[in-house]
Amino acid sequence: MLAALGGLSACQSGQKKNAETTDSTTVATIAPVQAPVAGSFYKQFKGTLAGQPVTLQLIKYNPGKYEGWYVYDKVGEPIGLSLARETGDSLILAEYAGINNENMLSGAFNGMQYRGTWTGNGKTFEFELTENMDNAIAFEVHTFEDSAKLFPNKDNSPIGRASESMVWPTGGADQATIEFLRTSLYPELKPGEMPVQAIKSAVLVYLESYQDNAKDIDTTGNEDGPGASWNWETNSSASVVWNKFPLLAVAKLGYEYSGGAHGNYGTSFEAYDLAAKKKLTVTDVFKPGYKPVLGTALDKSFRKLYKVPANQPLDEAYLFKKHIEPNENFYLTDKGVVFNFVPYEIAAYAVGQITLFVPWSDIRAIVQDTYLPKP
């Protein structure tokens, strides 16, 4: 499937030029298009929450399905959002960061502005956000979903469901950068293949494979056929987490249920340095010998997020091991780095996905100078 079980950098030479100021040696920027409210979209908003500057990345896949990330600009740690309720011209978005988090953004939304109140921890603050695509890559959102009966001729047949969504770069940078992003984000696309063709094909291939199982199922003496464990489902989607040239972060979330007690899910993050036209690895960002320092910082972040006392071993509080080791599932902001660990990777399924932010101030000595903010 297309999505797998899925700050301005200090490098001043990487800053983007506007098309109006380009010279003969500079490739003109493809300007983002201000799109009207539609059935699906990606938009970036800027404004204030509780008087603090914030930036919101918001995706609408289809009516009733949204995903977002917002960040306090001075902090640089993105907070995930999912749709709690959509009613007419209003949106209620719920945070899904931390334990027992019940924080909500609720307000009027007209596609260009989002204003209302943030509530949480017994407090209420006003927010006001306006669409703003400055220094950001523009994306189209493509989505497709379908379903199929395991036994097409049976009314009570189990059903397989599949959905695919993708973000397709369309502007906000020169053509070479846009093409680089398209190829890096979706290397499985064939030359000339359109995004909607690819996601539709992925869904239909899954459903065809699902129905192939029917020939191997013995339903003799069982008029009702297979039970609920054959109501299979797969979903994959992509969202924009950070979008401030030259850094870009895309999250690819995947979920699959194919029988058993529960489905499996996870998010893979992709970090990009657009100035270098490069998909980043940890060795691009960190200096040799980085693991002990970064591991200690991840332990500290986990203790803070999960409220684990300093004297309590982490393998007695959620985790499989005493210490966390960095992986390749990460992305950058202008204030730090975020690492993600999917269920079963470092803790039991019940703990869920673990996402940890480490500010540059905690690990400055091991970070390549390119990605550190300049004084």
Summarised one tens digit per residue, pLDDT across range 45-100 is 999 999 999 999 999 999 889 999 999 999 999 999 999 999 888 999 999 865 56
In a domain, 75, yes or no: yes
* 251 & 356 share domain: no
Provide the 3-class DSSP secondary structure of residue 284.
Answer: helix
The pLDDT, as a whole number, for residue 275 is 97
The pLDDT, as a whole number, for residue 101 is 67
In a domain, 27, yes or no: no
Mean pLDDT of 96-105: 75
The pLDDT, as a whole number, for residue 130 is 98
In a domain, 244, yes or no: yes
In a domain, 8, yes or no: no
Domain count for the chain, please give it: 3
Does residue 142 surpass a pLDDT of 90?
A: yes
* 296 & 170 share domain: no
Residue-wise burial string across 102-126, b where 16 or more C-beta atoms lie within 10 A, e elsewhere: ebbbbbebeeeebebebeeeeeeee
Q: What is the CATH number of the domain that holds 90?
A: 2.40.128
Question: pLDDT digits over 337-373, tens only?
Answer: 999 999 999 999 999 999 999 999 999 999 999 999 8
In a domain, 309, yes or no: yes
* 148 & 186 share domain: yes
The pLDDT, as a whole number, for residue 328 is 97
In a domain, 119, yes or no: yes
Last residue of a domain, one of 131, 166, 192: 131
* 267 & 178 share domain: yes
Q: What is the CATH number of the domain that holds 303?
A: 3.90.640.20
Beginning with the edge strand found earlier in the chain, give each strand of the sheet holding 278-279 in spatial order: 138-149, 159-171, 233-244, 247-257, 264-273, 278-279
Report the range of poorest mean pLDDT among 76-85, 169-178, 225-234, 260-269.
Answer: 225-234
* 124 & 151 share domain: no
* 104 & 72 share domain: yes
The upper half-sphere exposure of residue 267, i.e. CA atoms within 13 Å in the direction of its Cβ, equals 22
Question: pLDDT digits over 181-200, tens only?
Answer: 999 999 999 888 899 999 99
* 152 & 245 share domain: yes
Higher pLDDT, 251 or 318: 251
The pLDDT, as a whole number, for residue 219 is 63
Last residue of a domain, one of 254, 279, 304: 279
Q: What is the CATH number of the domain that holds 158?
A: 3.30.565.40
Does residue 32 surpass a pLDDT of 60?
A: no
The upper half-sphere exposure of residue 347, i.e. CA atoms within 13 Å in the direction of its Cβ, equals 20
Question: pLDDT digits over 234-267, tens only?
Answer: 999 999 999 999 999 999 999 999 988 899 999 9
* 95 & 216 share domain: no
Rounded Cα distance between 141 and 195, Å, is 9
The pLDDT, as a whole number, for residue 226 is 67
Last residue of a domain, one of 234, 260, 279: 279
* 242 & 329 share domain: no
In a domain, 11, yes or no: no
Q: What is the mean pLDDT of the chain?
A: 88
The pLDDT, as a whole number, for residue 217 is 81
Does residue 20 surpass a pLDDT of 60?
A: no
* 195 & 291 share domain: no
* 234 & 201 share domain: yes
In a domain, 148, yes or no: yes
Residue 201 lies in domain: 138-279
In the numeric block, the tokens 């609720």 are attached to: 106
Does residue 30 surpass a pLDDT of 60?
A: no
* 158 & 39 share domain: no
Under 8 Å between Cβ of 18 and 26: no
Does residue 221 surpass a pLDDT of 90?
A: no
Amino acid letter for position 227: G
User: What is the pTM (predicted TM-score) of this model?
Assistant: 0.86
- Percent of the chain whose predicted confidence (pLDDT) is above 90: 76
